[in-house]
Structure 1
């Protein structure tokens, strides 16, 4: 079972990464050219965090797995929005 502290840390990391990615997305929407480096880094952080959540799920109990699943869906949604914006 994942410890409570490790779950809290990971969920906070997820929220921070999502917030940063959404800021990059909004910034790029306002400008004709956007910060390629910041945008790419935000996408990479989303992917890395998604993988961290998947790893944590292996050690989580049922309630924690459900919480992690919901967070993975949020990460995927932000990632998909950014990728589609990039096309």
Structure 2
């Protein structure tokens, strides 16, 4: 059973139009940060946000020792198109 975290999703939704902000999700291990992020991604897709405007990088799979240049290489292609991007 998946718990939809409406309050957190609403905060992300309210902030998603503010392009001058960086949104950071923090919290202790295993409290649901990834779940909230995946639910937010689902909402973005449901609202019709183009897939090329969404860049999701699972750092758990990559590892915590990723360098800044490696991260830029991953994000760079997402930013080639003009407009708002969700990273």
Q: TM-score range by the shorter chain?
A: 0.3 to 0.5
Bigger relative contact order, structure 1 or 2 (CA pairs below 8 A, ≥6 apart): 1
TM-score computed with the length of structure 2 as normaliser:
0.33
